[in-house]
Structure 1
Amino acid sequence: MIKMEVSMKFGENEILEREQKLFSTEHRFLNRLRLDALCFQLFLLLAILAVISVCLIGAFRGIVSSAPTVNEKQILTSSKTTILYDKDGNELQRLDGSGIRQNYVALNKISMAARNAFIAADDTEYYKHHGVDIRNFFYAFYPDSASAQYAGSRRTLTQKLIRNQIFVSDNNSSSMERVVQKIQEQYLAVQFESEVGKDKILEYYLNTLYFGGNRIGIGAAAEYYFDKKAQDLTISESAVLAALAQDPAVYDPVEQQKSNSNKRTEILNVMLNMETISEDEYEDALGDNIYISLQTANQKKNGTTEAKNYYVSAVISQVISDLKERAGYSATQAYHAVYQGGLKIYTCLDSEIQSICEKEVEVQRQRTGDRKKLQLSLVFMDQSTGKVKALIGGRQGEVPQTGGNRAVDYTRQPGSMLTPLSVWLPAIDTAGMTLGTVQDDCLYSYSENGHQQNTRDQNEYQGLVTTRDSILKHLESPAVQAMESFGIQTGYDYLKKLGFSTLVEKQEDMDGNVISDVSLSLASGNLVNGVSNLDLTAAYGVLANEGKSVKPIFYTKLVDKTGNILFKNEQKSSQLLETASAWLITNVLREYIETGAGKAADLGIEKLPAAGYGASTKGNKDQWFTGYTPYYTAGIWCGYDDSGMITSDISCETLWKQIMKQVHSTKKIEKGSFKIPDDIVACNICTKCGKLAVEDLCNQALSGDTIRREYFVSGTQPTENCDCHVKYRVCKKSGKLATEKCPKSQVEERVYLIKEEQGTTKDTPYVLTPKLRSSQCNIHK
């Protein structure tokens, strides 16, 4: 009890002391300081927030006040002329929009199906929002990310109209510039919708979209593709055009039917989900084979070029593509930038070379006098820079039935023009084969798509041949065997690396059949879509450039209307092939021109070598020749637009020679060389086995001298002597092996070929048969 009372008393004292400390002057002062500090921090925070708010409001007002004006005149017109220059700065052509096909159509003259299709494709919430999707603004702060891509896809239809027509050439790459433009876009979208209304904006939008070629607006598109007015467009037709407008280069309904068809189906599905079409209308539209009638209507339009100059059309295509890929432009925005944005485009065109090409093509045309209008395309480029110096897309400015440019986007079967690139280049570059590797050119069976195929050669089979001879003589059987040995995929991958853009790895055709270029047809150049002259010329240019690849370009610099450089089109080379591999193939192609089938292309200039290759396809439907010097590469194609048999006596080799000689003379180029790599060695081989030749044996073969000096990459040359030839003493009278009783005057030495024949070839008469080997003269006894 006493202890408890003491403890309690002590506790009461403690409490009193603490109360005194708490209410002491010093303590109250410290508490006041803490409170004042907290208040000051709150005040400072509020002040900072206020300043930030004022700055943001000021910045917002500044951004909004600097936004361009949006009205009908600004939406529908523009007066800035784009100018193209040649390589020397001379004006080449002006693009002022005068060639644009545009037929303005009021909204009430556009079918409801078309309106609904474009809303389904571009902005499903169009009639629900007030011009913007607020989520889109915040995603704009994250450039170069999935969010930024999402932001671009979430632009409302009104924003797309403003972006396409107002911000024609003002795409900005920095984050801040992107945000400023986004704020202006959204502000103008809200303002424009409040002033004009939804229906009028939809009308403007449909009349300003780019539909490919030089067609602007749904009226021009409906007339061009379906030969009808916009008010008569069906659901199926409307979905085709809505798909096309997403990106005319990707969804062209004539050239890219499969892509357009897939996109059309997506749009029809959205329309069904939006309940703007019924189930029956959806099924009818899906079942409509629209692409047959579309192509029929489209083919009526050929006859004149869309650009007076094929080179200019190629420049425009590349600029539009680069604006979309490198600057983020939409297809419509890129088209307006080129034709109405006041750009300055500095091209690679060499007017001197272009003039020479045009002159020689005209001379050739007059000489042949072909009434069926044999067509021609030509690509002339500097392989070291990728600059296309001249281009011809057809004679007399005639456009092919499928539209486009015969030199750039018109595809034809290459035939054996492809074989050195698809077979022999990878064979030497990676598969361990050499120019001296021997294969049997004979009837050869192989499986293709589940069917048994046989190789076919126009003349009799050559028998044992080297890689060099296979190339020089366009032999199919050795090429197929070689590709089968190192793998089809390897050949396909090499062609992709070389820049062939029209190859098909795997896809379904319109009938649902799987088609692919990953097949042994690569060995003979029989492709799904064929190749363009531009791609083929550029691929041979890699050989000319010592194995270095440079993408072909048509312009060097793009300048906007204010004088700012949008971007420079400088290409860096990449070492695609081993230098030695490129040189070895070039060495064969030099022989092809100097003494082979391409002798008509021989320049005849002692110190200026040239290499090249030519071919005609099955049925003589296409003729090609692509060749190069150490300075330039040029490719020529001849044929009819309807793929008929060529009956004219035109020579691609002769035309190539005349152009090359004049160009080099004009540029005062008199000598050059294909530099021999340090790791190239040479030795004499037997062309029937590929091993080291043996004197007095290989050169005495019954088939003729089989010794050839061949080039190899050091370490791949043969080290063993020929073992395919054998020498026997034969009695001339009996034709059997001579015995000791045969008179010396009746005995001769013959060198036979040791070979297991797979069929009849040119080797057959000279093969040592088991019958001969076991025979003895039975006349002299």
Structure 2
Amino acid sequence: MRTGRERRSSRVRRARAVRRRRTVIIICVIVAIPLITLGALAGLLLVGLHTVAAVQQDLPSLEAQGEVKLAETTQIFAADGTLLAYLHGEENRTVISGKEIPDILRYAVVAIEDERYYSHSGVDLEGLLRAFFANVRAQRVDQGFSTITMQLVGNLYLDRTDISLTRKWNEMALAWQMERKYSKNEILDMYLNTVYFGSNAYGVEAAARTYFNKDPKDLTLAEAALLAGLPQAPSIYSPRSHPEKALERRNTVLAKMYELGYITRSEYLQAMAEPLKLAPYSPYTKVEEPYVVAYVRKLLISMFGEQRVFAGGLRVETTIDPDYQKLAEEAIASTLDQPGDPSAALVCIETKTGYIKAMVGGSDYDSSKFNLAVQAKRQPGSAFKTFCLVAALEKGMDPYNTYYESMPVSLTYPGAPEPWKVKTYGNVYYGISSVVEATLRSDNTVYAQMALDVGAEHIVDVAHRMGITSELNADPAIALGGLRVGVSPLEMASAYATLANGGEHIEPTIILRVKDANGKVLWEAKPKRTQAISAAVAYEVTRILEMNIQRGTGTKANIDRPAAGKTGTTTEWRDAWFCGYTPHLSTTVWVGHPEAQISMDNVHGIRVTGGSFPAIIWQKFMYEADRKYPEEDFREPQVKIQYDRFFRSNYQVVPTSTTISTTTTTSVPETVSTTFPETSDTTASSLPPSTLPPSPTTTLPRSTTTTRPPSPPGPPQTNF
């Protein structure tokens, strides 16, 4: 029995050994065949790629592709370096260096996109075979095998809409060449700067800011994993549109990183437990100072073209001061603070540089993108009288000792189809008045007569020289602000800055410098400077406009510092202006309804004039803004103004000792001390014909003498 059992046991052991040998042989065969096949394919593929890259004429050469210029986002900055806005087209991208990309983000992308990235030569043969057999089993394209390098060359050099085998072969050939030219980290960094992460974000810089409003180097492990999971399907895994799927995808990336040893177990568990925390909005959708940005964008497009502006990665430095912007917006909001209030615009220019320091083009860019500070062409009212005053002084008129009669006038001149009738608002008149007195009262009837003496063409010339760029009609009514087209607050601020700058006009500038993405200066502002009017005339006009703030129509603009300015109000209170300046800043404020010519006859219970809300807004803004500069007086020029003692006027009248209030000297007369209410600047006249012949006629008394009698007491206080 023992012998039989032993024989049977021996036969069993032999049978088992045979079966084991057969099993080993089968396993060896099963393992060997794929390995041999894989080796053969690998050898053939590598040889093929090498041969193809070297000699095949029909396949692309990496060297022949040339340099690819990635679309980059343009950035606009304020004067202090604060970012105002991004400008981009379809591709929102900011290229960053490898030093700015954290390793944790590199590892996350490699783990989920190409786990054998550091071991292959551009083409992952194991992944290729895996995808091949999987697709054969599925009888459809179920898996891909593109490596990070292949994705990169595909994005850079090939048509992404082409899904042919030829395109895939070209992709492999170029990937193999790229791996020979660049290091793994260089390739990975290029990939991370080009790949799409959804929400118009191309590259990790845009992606990190779009979803977390962070620099890539500040990303947490969980945030890096979330970004790494997006390129495969940015829409499906969008954390804003599909947060649950995004979280699931992020966790998949974390698990893969742990599996491959890129993170420890504790790091993995901690990141898995982190909730999805996104920035409340993408910073690329938020624009600081939208009216400023829109104006800058328009200028940039005219300088560089749309393609370069939206894809050229420009770095644009502007002159805008964020503190001034805030002051301006607060001054407007705190003054016009009730429902239904009119709109306001404000422009502030630094007088010695022409730099635009603040620009408020409206209160709500979302509801109206029309920039009132630049695009609005409105009637300036009596704020245009300043140009008539400048023209008169250029002709040699002495404003302290030249007199006109304040009275309703009906002026005729050759070519006029009907008389030009002018009156003052409220029909209050003052008899014989000096030009200075009429300026402080903003007397329409005096300035209408003076306009005919000076000549409309001369007034137009002065306005253009000083900074008005709009087309102006050479009509006498221009002296009262009766324009056919109108002017913008930017133009008025620029023109008044000429007075503050000793008669030198500096072209207003908002773009200071433009650089490319590498910091190379492409363009730098060199504002055009011209001596528009003499320093003597500018200084004398400034002295008169200083009095206007002290005791004229602009008293509500007093900032307890040297300042000068002029009010302006149009017929039916449809537009109200205050244009004023200090030695440092020129600021213009306009108030009105942009949608139509709507009367402001009852705003907060008052009729809106230039001396009311515009002057108040100007005062609030300038009181703080000008104190960033040391207090100083307007600089008196070495060459003093010379009046023409033989200046003759068609409308000048001879004052008598009982009808005047003036002085026989050219110094500021102490007797001109009456304070005039702000409403007296309202323009009330009909627009005359455009023809302006040299010899106007009227029934007013004329003077043929330049006698300057002594000064009696000033005129009575007006009530308009």
Residues 501-540 of structure 1: pairs in structure 2 closer than 5 A: 501-504=469-472, 517-540=473-496
| 1:344 equivalent among 315, 327, 331 | 315
Provide, for residues 706-748 of structure 1, a one-character-per-residue CA deviation record: whole Å limited to 9, x for no partner.
Answer: 4475339xxxxxx9864599xxxxxxxxxxxxxxxxxxxxxxx
Residue 380 of structure 1: how far off its partner (Å): 1.0
User: Residue in 2 aligned with 1:644?
Assistant: 598
- 2:495 counterpart letter in structure 1: A
The unaligned stretches of length 5 or more in structure 2 are: 1-62, 93-155, 157-284, 605-611, 650-654, 669-704
Q: Which residue of 1 aligns with 2:276?
A: none
How big is each residue's C-alpha offset from its partner over 1:430-464, in whole Å with a ceiling of 9 and x where there is no partner?
A: 45454432222333312475332211212333222
Select the residue among 273, 296, 317 that pairs with 1:315: 296
Q: Among 665, 670, 680, which residue is 2:640 paired with? A: 680
1:82 deviates by 0.4
User: 2:597 & 2:501 partners in 1: Cα distance?
Assistant: 33
Instruction: Give the structure 2 partner of residue 425 of structure 1.
Output: 390
What displacement does 1:670 show? 4.6
Describe the shift of the 1:720–1:623 C-alpha distance in structure 2 as closer, same or farther (beyond 3 A): closer
What CA distance in whole angstroms lies between the structure 2 residues aligned with 1:364 and 1:320? 35
Gaps of 5+ in 1: 1-63, 101-165, 167-303, 324-328, 505-516, 690-696, 713-718, 726-750, 754-760, 763-781
- Residues 398, 597 of structure 1: alpha-carbon distance in 2 compared, 3 angstrom cutoff: farther
The answer to whether the 8 A contact 2:84-2:288 is kept is no
Assess if the C-alpha contact under 8 Å between 1:557 and 1:567 holds in 2.
Answer: yes
Letter in 2 for 1:455: V
In 1, distance between residues paired with 2:351 and 2:447? 27
1:200-237: CA deviation from partner (whole Å, max 9, x where unpaired): xxxxxxxxxxxxxxxxxxxxxxxxxxxxxxxxxxxxxx
Q: Which residue of 2 aligns with 1:658?
A: 620
Alignment of 1:126-145 (within 5 A): none
* Correspondent of 2:334 among 336, 360, 363: 363
Aligned to 1:217: none
CA contact (8 A) 2:402 2:434 kept: yes
Aligned match for 1:457, one of 415, 424, 434: 424
- Over 3 Å counting, the alpha-carbon distance change for 1:706 and 1:488 in structure 2 is closer
* C-alpha displacement of 1:351: 1.2
Which position in structure 2 is the counterpart of 1:564? 520
Query: 1:469 corresponds to which letter in structure 2?
Result: E
**Aligned residue pair count:** 408
Q: Check the 8 A contact 1:584/1:711 in 2, yes or no.
A: no
Q: Which structure has the greater CA radius of gyration?
A: 2
For 1:663, the aligned partner's letter is A
Q: Is the 8 A contact 1:682 1:710 kept in 2?
A: no
Residue identity opposite 1:446 in structure 2: T
Q: Evaluate the alpha carbon distance shift between residue 578 and residue 722 of structure 1 in structure 2; reply closer, same or farther with a 3 A threshold.
A: closer
- Taking a change above 3 Å as real, the CA distance of residues 478 and 338 of structure 1, as seen in their structure-2 partners, is same
Contact in 2 for aligned 1:347/1:556 (Cα 8 Å) = yes
- Within 1, Cα distance between the matches of 2:530 and 2:392? 20
Deviation at 1:406, TM superposition (A): 0.4
CA contact (8 A) 1:681 1:711 kept: no
Instruction: Answer whether contact 2:84 2:289 (CA < 8 A) is retained.
Output: no
- Between the aligned partners of 2:498 and 2:400, the Cα distance in structure 1 is 19
Q: Deviations over 1:661-697 (max 9, x none)?
A: 11234x2x352110122343899x9xxx9xxxxxxx9
Q: Which has the higher contact order (CA 8 A, sep 6+)?
A: 2
- TM-superposed deviation, 1:634: 0.8
The TM-score with structure 2 as length reference comes to 0.52
- Percent same amino acid among aligned pairs? 23
| Runs of 4 or more consecutive aligned structure 1 residues displaced over 6 Å after TM superposition | 64-69, 304-307
**CA pair 65-709 structure 1, distance change in 2 beyond 3 A:** farther
Partner of 1:33: none
SS at match of 2:336: helix
> Given the superposition, is the C-alpha separation of residues 453 and 600 from structure 1 closer, same or farther in structure 2, using an over 3 Å criterion?
same
Matched residue type, 1:533: P
SS at match of 1:480: helix
2:420 maps to amino acid? Q
Q: 1:703 to 1:442 in 2, by over 3 A?
A: closer
Instruction: Provide the rounded CA distance (Å) in 2 between the counterparts of 1:574 and 1:66.
Output: 51
With over 3 angstroms needed to count, the CA separation of the structure-2 counterparts of 1:82 and 1:583, relative to structure 1, is: same
Structure 1 length-normalised TM = 0.48
C-alpha change, 1:357 and 1:87, in structure 2 (3 Å) is same
Per mean C-alpha deviation after superposition, the further-off stretch among 573-582 and 83-92 is: 83-92
> 2:86 corresponds to which residue?
94
User: What is the DSSP-based 3-state SS (H/G/I as helix, E as strand, rest coil) of the residue aligned with 1:427?
Assistant: helix
Question: Of 631, 634, 641, which residue of structure 2 is paired with 1:671?
Answer: 631
Per-residue deviation, 1:557 = 0.4
Contact 2:399–2:435 (Cα < 8 Å) also in 1: yes
Evaluate the alpha carbon distance shift between residue 720 and residue 614 of structure 1 in structure 2; reply closer, same or farther with a 3 A threshold: closer
Within the candidate set 383, 386, 389, 2:354 is matched to 386
How far off is 1:311 after superposition? 1.3
Matched to 2:603, the amino acid is S
Residue 541 of structure 2: which of 585, 593, 615 is its match?
585
Q: Structure 1 residues 522, 609: closer, same or farther in 2, change over 3 A?
A: same
Aligned partner of 1:541 among 475, 485, 497: 497
The aligned amino acid for 2:564 is: A
Query: Once the two structures are superposed, what CA deviation does each residue of 1:633-655 show, in whole Å capped at 9, x if it has no partner?
Result: 11100011222111214611111
Q: Residue 341 and residue 449 in structure 1: after superposition, are their counterparts in 2 closer, same or farther (change >3 A)? A: farther
**Residue 415 of structure 1, aligned match among 354, 360, 381:** 381
The answer as to whether partners of 1:592 and 1:611 remain within 8 angstroms in 2 is yes
Inter-CA distance 424–561: structure 2 relative to 1 (3 Å threshold): same
8 Å CA contact retained: 1:682, 1:711: no
8 Å contact kept, 2:379–2:570: yes
| Structural RMSD (CA) | 3.7
1:394 Cα shift?
0.7
Check whether the contact 1:308–1:397 (CA below 8 A) recurs between aligned residues.
no
The match for 2:76 is 84
Q: 1:84 to 1:440 in 2, by over 3 A?
A: same
SS of 1:379's equivalent?
A: strand
Paired amino acid for 2:371: N
Letter in 1 for 2:614: C
Are residues 315 and 436 of structure 1, via their aligned partners in 2, closer, same or farther at CA, if it must alter by over 3 Å?
A: farther
Corresponding residue of 1:437 = 402
Report the counterpart of residue 744 of structure 1 in structure 2: none
Distance 1:548 1:664 in 2: 20
Contact 2:431 2:659 in 1 (8 A): no
* Compared CA separation, residues 536 and 706, structure 1 to 2 (3 A): closer
Distance 1:570 1:596 in 2: 38
C-alpha contact (below 8 Å) 1:83/1:95 kept by paired residues? yes
Aligned 1:702-713 pairs, distance under 5 A: 702-703=658-659, 706-707=662-663, 710-711=666-667
Q: Distance in 1 between matches of 2:579 and 2:614?
A: 9
> Contact between 2:396 and 2:642, CA under 8 Å: does it hold in 1?
no
Within the alignment, does 1:493 sit opposite 2:461 as a pair?
yes
1:414 CA drift (Å) = 0.5
CA contact (8 A) 2:504 2:533 kept: yes
Query: Does structure 2 retain, via aligned residues, the 8 Å contact 1:81–1:341?
Result: yes
Q: Quick one: distance in 2 between partners of 1:545 and 1:342?
A: 36
Alpha-carbon distance between aligned partners in 2 of 1:723 and 1:674, rounded to the nearest angstrom: 30
- Give the deviation of 1:486 after TM superposition: 3.0
Deviation at 1:67, TM superposition (A): 7.2
Residue 405 of structure 1: CA displacement? 0.7
